[in-house]
Structure 1
Amino acid sequence: MDFSKLLFSFLLSQTLLPLLLAMTAAQNSNLFREYIGAQGRAVEFTDVPIYPNIDFHFILAFAIDYTTSTSPSPTDGQFSSFWDTASLTPSDVTSIKRNHGNVKVALSLGGSSVADTIPATFHPASVDSWVGNAVSSLTTLIKRYNLDGIDINYEHFIIGANQDMFAECIGQLLTTLKRNKVIEFSSIAMYDDEPLQSYYRALWSNYSQLIDYVNFEFYAYPAGTMVSQFLGYYETQRTNYRGGKVLASFISDGSKGLTPANGFFDACKTLQKQGKLPGIFVWSADDSKSNGFQYEKTAQSLLSMSTETPSPSAPNQSSHGYSNAMKHWWPIWSFVALVAAVV
């Protein structure tokens, strides 16, 4: 091999390796998210330990487009608060954000049931009517509570609302709320089930650019899940939501999935070493209150070791990181291209 080819190979390896390492590290972040308020256990924001070097998202569970009567019925996108509003008030949101500059608060839509009575079903009359009602009612709720984002968490769908209709309703909702600067970020939440995932894959296929985080419910896998199984499940869901920030997750009552006691944090450390841990979320603060939030502390301690510098609260960090890396290495790329041309 002549000198010019050796020089080209050396320069190429010296250029590609740091760039690829930088892009891999950018997949880690210090984002921690926790659902709160769904189970009526009087848990408050101030009960939960908040580490200062963590990007912390509380997620109010849930806002549902059903009436609040004793016999709830669907309202075609007109959302009401179904979380513990006595313990989690607008002034509580303002206070926790004022006292902790690293905290943001989001609102989750849907969930499994309406006040533990009937399934919380996605039930639009039409795309236009649902989107119009949802934009109006959610804008009011979000501004009243000084919220920062929303989470899409529907699990049940009427027969007439197929995957395309769901994707259009949610996609148009996110488009409008972001365009109007009502929200900073959005996430979707689901578990490994068909046809459930088909709805979210349709949404992801058409509107992934509007979705900042994927709260995949790994705790819905069977009790007794092992670390190796969890890592396999994680890779599968990273493929399903390719390019997305798929967060690892556990349920704090330890009833399902890979539990903290059985190796969840070992799995997270493996993902972190591989540059594949964009964050962790927990279901839920209501359950964790009884055990003193011990696993929240462990999760935040682990995430504080993240190698990512930028805040993951800013949408589309991975694409920004890639752009910055390309900008930084562009002069070297140009030189390598010149050498290649000479060769």
Structure 2
Amino acid sequence: MTFSNLLFLLFTLQSLLVAMASTQPKSDLFREYIGAEFNNVKFSDVPINPNVEFHYILAFAIDYTTSSSASPTDGQFNVFWDTDNLTPSQVSSIKNQHSNVKVALSLGGDSVGDGSCYFTPSSVDSWVSNAVSSLTKIIQQYNLDGIDIDYEHFHADPDTFAECIGKLITTLKNNGVISFASIAPFDDDEVQSHYMALWKSYGHIIDYVNFQFYAYDKGTTVSQFMNYFQTQRSNYGGGDMLASFISDGSGGLSPENGFFTACNRLKSEGKLGGIFVWSADDSKALGFRYEKQSQALLAV
């Protein structure tokens, strides 16, 4: 082989490796929901590995009234997380202490007050206008970096949901209010129909898929989890798919039963977009042992 042929071969190989790397998700992202259960958990309680990208996700901002009989407000969001412990000054403090930390807020959630939290727009234009205005105020007040979409019940069809959420994310990004957005679907026909409609039209502006793998049955095996992950990775093609567990072990593949085995396999296959946890509120009682283990895996 001539020297020029060898150079050409090396250049081709380098180009191939770069192309392969660019199609694989960056797998050092750790994310954790915090503040929904009012367990007095603080940002500073959660161990932070300096070698990962770390996102706290405040749960939740909801477009409902804060009265005892909460009702929908057509996109006018209010804060429903633990504001005694998770304040604007606490956000600034944790970000100043750790350069790898960003903080987001999640929209919606499963419930509000004593009932389910429904996505209830009166129209696309009115909801988007109200949502952009109210969320911009909250995001700027708290010095936040991104949003997460976690509506789980709907009084709107999939196309309306897609247009509302897609236009909200687009506007907030174009206005420089947020730098990233994620969605948090799970394996339910109604939920999937709404999020996959959103993904089809606006997947290109959604940065992460926080798929709730813990919504599968408790006792999920490693092989089942791997199959579920591949199925959802196909459903949300091109997205950075995160693996997930629930701290209280009530569903899905638990850390005790092989979650980290599955994550190591996915990472070795170049498929792991990161790990997220629901939630810091429950992990506090466990001393955040699985948060430490998750971040150690991602930091390698």
- If the TM-score is normalised by the length of the shorter chain, which range does it land in? over 0.9
Question: Structure 2: where are the runs of 5+ without partners?
Answer: none
Which residue in the other structure is 2:85 paired with? 87
Q: How many residues align?
A: 296
Larger CA deviation: 91-100 vs 11-20: 11-20
* Residues 191 and 220 in structure 1, CA contact (< 8 A), matched pair in contact too: yes
* Residues 223 and 257 in structure 1, CA contact (< 8 A), matched pair in contact too: yes
Which residue in the other structure is 1:318 paired with? none
Structure 1 residue 28: deviation in Å? 3.7
TM-score for the superposition, normalised by structure 1: 0.83
Deviation track 1:258-280 (CA, whole Å, cap 9, x = no partner) reads: 00000000000000110111100
Q: Please, which of 237, 244, 259 is the counterpart of residue 239 of structure 2?
A: 244
**What residue identity is the alignment partner of 1:134?**
A
- For residues 267 and 94 of structure 1, what CA distance do their matches in structure 2 show? 35
Which residue in the other structure is 1:220 paired with? 215
Relative to structure 1, the CA distance from residue 177 to residue 23 in structure 2 (aligned partners, 3 Å threshold; closer, same or farther) is closer
Q: Please, which of 234, 243, 259 is the counterpart of residue 229 of structure 2?
A: 234
* Residues 33 and 59 in structure 1, CA contact (< 8 A), matched pair in contact too: yes
Say what the alpha-carbon RMSD is for the aligned residues.
1.8
- For residues 97 and 14 of structure 1, what CA distance do their matches in structure 2 show? 40
Which residue in the other structure is 1:322 paired with? none
Which residue in the other structure is 1:189 paired with? 184
- For residues 164 and 137 of structure 2, what CA distance do their matches in structure 1 show? 18
In the alignment, structure 1 residue 139 sits paired with structure 2 residue 136: yes
**What residue identity is the alignment partner of 1:39?**
E
Which residue in the other structure is 2:109 paired with? 111
Structure 1 residue 27: deviation in Å? 2.0
Relative to structure 1, the CA distance from residue 69 to residue 270 in structure 2 (aligned partners, 3 Å threshold; closer, same or farther) is same
Mapping of residues 142-291 of structure 1, within 5 Å? 142-158=139-155, 161-291=156-286
- For residues 63 and 16 of structure 2, what CA distance do their matches in structure 1 show? 50
- For residues 173 and 46 of structure 2, what CA distance do their matches in structure 1 show? 29
SS at match of 1:216: coil
Question: Structure 1: where are the runs of 5+ without partners?
Answer: 1-5, 306-343
Relative to structure 1, the CA distance from residue 239 to residue 91 in structure 2 (aligned partners, 3 Å threshold; closer, same or farther) is same
**What residue identity is the alignment partner of 2:279?**
S
Q: Please, which of 102, 117, 122 is the counterpart of residue 120 of structure 1?
A: 117
* Residues 28 and 272 in structure 1, CA contact (< 8 A), matched pair in contact too: no
State the percentage of identical aligned residues: 65
Which residue in the other structure is 1:47 paired with? 45
**What residue identity is the alignment partner of 1:172?**
K
Deviation track 1:30-52 (CA, whole Å, cap 9, x = no partner) reads: 10000000001010000000011
Structure 1 residue 88: deviation in Å? 0.4
Which residue in the other structure is 2:25 paired with? 27
Which residue in the other structure is 1:300 paired with? 295
SS at match of 1:190: coil
TM-score for the superposition, normalised by structure 2: 0.95
SS at match of 1:290: helix
In the alignment, structure 1 residue 60 sits paired with structure 2 residue 55: no
**What residue identity is the alignment partner of 1:157?**
F
SS at match of 1:186: strand
* Residues 253 and 288 in structure 1, CA contact (< 8 A), matched pair in contact too: yes
